[in-house]
Amino acid sequence: MILLEKVVNGNKTGYHYTPEKKGTPGFISFNSETQQVEIVDLSEYDKELGHSYYAHKALGAVYRMVTSGKLEEKRLLAWF
């Protein structure tokens, strides 16, 4: 499970992503004009795991929101 929360921080716009409600969130930035999406910071949980599994799940979700033009303020991702 990942919680995505939209953030506007100066000239950076993106989403904090918090996997499994644990630790410090990571950050995914995007540019609506170019539709470029990138991982800026890994979450504390991804760092503990030693890979960017949740960051890439979040990246995909943010990319789909950017390309569809539907930028939600908050979004919960869950899978099984």
The per-residue pLDDT string of the chain (80 residues; one tens digit each, 9 = 90 and over) reads 999 999 987 777 999 999 998 899 999 999 988 999 999 999 999 999 999 999 999 999 999 999 999 999 999 999 88
What is residue 33's predicted lDDT score, i.e. its pLDDT? 87
Chain-centre distance for alpha carbon 75 = 10
What is residue 76's predicted lDDT score, i.e. its pLDDT? 96
Query: Is there a contact between 43 and 23 (Cβ–Cβ < 8 Å)?
Result: yes
Domain ranges of the chain: 2-70
What distance in Å separates the CA atoms of residue 20 and residue 61, rounded to the nearest whole number? 16
What is residue 28's predicted lDDT score, i.e. its pLDDT? 97
What is residue 32's predicted lDDT score, i.e. its pLDDT? 85
Per residue, the 3-state secondary structure of 10-32, as one string, reads CCEEEEEEEECCCCCCEEEEEEC
